[in-house]
Amino acid sequence: MSPVEVSATAAATPETIWKTCFEPMKWESWDPDLKETRDTEVGCKEGATCTFVMNDGNVIPVTLSNVQKNKSLNFSGGLFGGILKFVGKVSISPVDSASSKIEYSFALNGLIGPIISFLKKDDVVGGTQGGLDNMVKLSEEAQKN
């Protein structure tokens, strides 16, 4: 399965989106599959690591890359000795002075990633879209305040 790619326009600036969704390193506020984000002391910076505690109980080390404040970030990790890997990519770009486009993609790869993507397609698509929807909602609420 190819990466799931979704996008939306939010009535919020890139700065508000970043400050609300990524900078606090509380990604469970927008990612419906996350129970908790741990080991976030370094913050949202290039090469930083953290730990995702998933709703299903899995605990996954994650590395951030392509971190450009108010613009983009990638996050990646793996399970089961690396036979299941994932990559998420977020890009934020201004549309005008009061709104921004958020592009979010998520892919499972590694040896069993394509199999899991096929078997759990609705979950992967739903989780990606749900994450984007939550980013938009949280950012728009923050922009109003």
The CA distances from residue 58 to 44, 74, 79, 80, 91, in Å, are 22, 20, 8, 10, 26
pLDDT tens per residue across span 93-145: 999 999 999 999 999 999 999 999 999 999 999 999 999 999 999 999 999 98
Tell me: pLDDT of 1 over 80.
no
Enclosing H/E stretch for 104: strand 99-109
pTM of the model: 0.94
Residue 19 vs residues 67, 100, 107: alpha-carbon distances, Å: 13, 14, 25
Ordered structural domains, the chain, with CATH: 4-144 (3.30.530.20)
